[in-house]
Amino acid sequence: MRLLLIRHGQTPDNVAGRLGTEAPGPGLTELGRAQASAVPGALVGEDIGALFVSSLRRTHETVAPLASALSLDPVEVAGFREVIAGDLEARSDPEAVSTYMGTVVSWVTGELDRRLPGGEDGHEFFTRFDEAVAQVVASRHETVAVVSHGAAIRGWCGARAVGSALFVKEHPLENTGVVTLEGDPESGWRLLSWEGRPVGGPELDDDDLDPTGEAF
């Protein structure tokens, strides 16, 4: 299977540098909507057979232009939601951001017992994201696109794509960045490409302090 993991478009939380993970969460900014509108053109060469989104509003708004272009109905899978911030929700201070992203990094390196304050641990995160990916694989399409979230995509890819832990830590994944993998849960996943910038080009770049999109 060819798996396209797309990060959602810009949100008000991204602009403010806040950790926003609660459902349903905010929608997209004006720039975020422009970023989403650029996704169909960027993926025109992909033979996408199905679309999946998380339970957060921003993924639904991001996928809408692509769904319209492909005449597909997106399937919501809650397991694709962002890493749950717990007690760190809505915070933007360096201590909270460092704790949040540092915990995700520790999961990638195998410290699955480490828990976010009031949130989930690595076992819980990977269980629900793996189950969500398994649902995608069960759709039996050769190419599938999933709109998910910055920390979730980076954490899962760092742990599940062979040899990708260091690469994922050192490379950003900005809004509407696209990660392409190939494989399946049984044989493993191989990272084919990592487009960390917005797919529409430099004019859709943002200058926000988005904590989940920057290199660790």
The percentage of residues in the chain with a pLDDT greater than 90, rounded to a whole number, is: 88
| 214 belongs to a structural domain | no
Sheet with 188-195: list strands edge to edge.
75-76, 50-53, 143-148, 2-7, 178-184, 188-195
Residue 208, pLDDT above cutoff 80 = no
| 76 belongs to a structural domain | yes
pLDDT in tens, 46-100: 999 999 999 999 999 999 999 999 999 999 999 999 999 999 999 999 999 999 9
Q: What residues pair up with 87 in beta bridges, in sequence order?
A: none
| 215 belongs to a structural domain | no
Residue 215, pLDDT above cutoff 80 = no
Q: Which two tokens stand for residue 131?
A: 């189950």
Number of domains in the chain: 1
Range of the domain at 107: 2-204
Say if pTM beats, i.e. exceeds, 0.75: yes
| 216 belongs to a structural domain | no
Output the CA torsion sign for 142, 60, 194, 92: negative
Q: Of 181 and 209, which is predicted with more confidence?
A: 181
| 209 belongs to a structural domain | no
Report the mean per-residue pLDDT for the chain.
95
Q: Taking the CA of residue 52 as centre, how many other CA atoms within 13 Å lie in the half-sphere pointing to its CB? A: 25
Give the 3-state secondary structure percentages of the chain, helix then strand then coil, rounded to 5: 40, 15, 40
Q: Give pLDDT, residue 202.
A: 87
pLDDT in tens, 164-178: 988 888 899 999 999
Residue 159, pLDDT above cutoff 80 = yes
Q: Give pLDDT, residue 216.
A: 67
Q: Give pLDDT, residue 210.
A: 83
Q: Could you tell me the CATH number of the domain that includes residue 148? A: 3.40.50.1240
Q: Of 128 and 203, which is predicted with more confidence?
A: 128
**Sequence-ordered list of residues with C-beta below 8 angstroms from that of 177, at least 6 positions apart, any chain:** 6, 7, 194, 195, 196, 197, 198, 199, 213
In 3-state terms, what secondary structure has residue 90?
Answer: coil
What value, to the nearest 5°, has the Cα angle with vertex 67 and ends 161 and 209? 60
Report the greatest alpha carbon distance in the chain: 44
| 211 belongs to a structural domain | no
| 212 belongs to a structural domain | no
Question: C-alpha distances in angstroms, 87 versus 51, 96, 158, 178, 202?
Answer: 31, 9, 24, 29, 35
Peptide bond into 65 cis (omega under 30): no
| 124 belongs to a structural domain | yes
CA-nearest of 137, 173, 141, 138 to 155 is 173
